Amino acid sequence: MEMYRFDWLDQLTETALDPQRPIVDPHHHLWDNRGGTYQSAELLADTTGSHNVITTVFVECRSKYVKDGPESMQPVGETRYVAAQAAELDAIAGDGGPKIGAIVSFADMALGDAVEEVLNAHEEAGGGKFRGIRHAVANDPHPDVPGNHVRATDDIMQSPSFHAGVAKLGDMGFSFDSWMYHPQLPQLVELARAAPQTSIILDHMGGPLGHGPYADDREGAMAQWRANMVEVATCPNVTLKVGGIGMDNYYNTGFGSLPAPPSSDEIVSYWEDRVHFCIETFGPDRCMFESNFPVDRQTMTYPTLWNALQKMGARYTDAEQDDLFVNTATRTYHLSP
């Protein structure tokens, strides 16, 4: 996964299709490590460079964990780091600039009820912005399919302790973000039904894989994904993030192998059937468009990505587009208007 191909990305420049429409970007990351930097300054450049992004939501990515103390508490360092980045963004963007409105951190859901101590620490570190937890479980036995960044096992989400941890989130008023691959979606159905009081957000359209055996049988893989997504949509406590459309490393779009980055029209041509299926299955009031930056920068720029999403959203009414671009994320993450 290469997110710093700036010479390649610079071959295509798009201006915003609708620069006035407000956007809440409910999924981005921040980091400063040997792989590169994406912090408040880089986020500000993206969110003010074309479209009208008013608020964002940070989602965990193993940034700035503390290196001492109990392992379960080490992720609180990331919440503290992002809260500081949010304050820095406020300082450089000013009153009218975009804000980091919410923080989604990591805690090990397999701690069960004992996760309460970690959640309390996140809330204290978050400066009023902590909203929930993502515990990624994306896993597949095939060697050509990448694993997840927290090294979770394929069956961890089925354990009673994991169910108890997610239920504790709901009991405390926090949400659960879930990143998994499409063959694992039946496990999410079990989890959502076991913890109906917890708001669950399914990331990146449910992970419709395109590598390994899923590349050999794309039609069969997409049929399995669609059937599983229909079942997930029967769980009223699940909301869907519609995005991740730049992740060639998982979805095998082929965008990253092109001589120049794809245009928004090319992105729409590839993704529109799946995006419309998601929105029509869950409804616009349970869907939110997302950038997943800078991960999606491996194949597209921020303006091009939002142009593609605006084009795919154009078939819906103004009220439905308000849900897709702002309202669903605002409700789900309890963002300030």
For 135-170, write each residue's pLDDT tens digit: 999 998 888 887 777 666 778 899 999 999 999 999
- Are 8 and 261 within 8 A, CB to CB? yes
- Are 240 and 206 within 8 A, CB to CB? yes
Q: What is the mean pLDDT of the chain?
A: 96
Q: What's the average model confidence in pLDDT over 241-258?
A: 96
**pLDDT tens column, 34-43:** 779 999 999 9
pLDDT at 124: 98
What are 80's two structure tokens?
A: 């503290």
Beta bridge partner(s), residue 58:
28, 103
Kindly tell me if the per-residue pLDDT of 132 is higher than 90.
yes
Kindly tell me if the per-residue pLDDT of 33 is higher than 90.
no
Helices (H), the chain: 6-9, 40-48, 76-93, 116-125, 160-171, 185-194, 213-216, 218-232, 248-251, 264-282, 302-313, 318-322, 328-332
pLDDT at 74: 97
- Are 298 and 248 within 8 A, CB to CB? yes
- Are 86 and 42 within 8 A, CB to CB? no
Q: What's the average model confidence in pLDDT over 249-274?
A: 97
d(CA 45, CA 54): 13
- How far are the Cα atoms of 69, 75, 210 from residue 107, in angstroms, in the given order? 15, 7, 29
Among 60-69, 94-103, 144-153, the minimum mean pLDDT is found in 144-153
Residue with tokens 């490590």: 33
The CATH number corresponding to 19-332 among 3.20.20.140, 3.50.50.60, 1.10.357.10, 1.50.10.20 equals 3.20.20.140
**Neighbouring C-alpha atoms within 13 Å toward the C-beta of 223:** 4
Name the DSSP letter for residue 130.
E
d(CA 77, CA 68): 10
Beta bridge partner(s), residue 24:
55
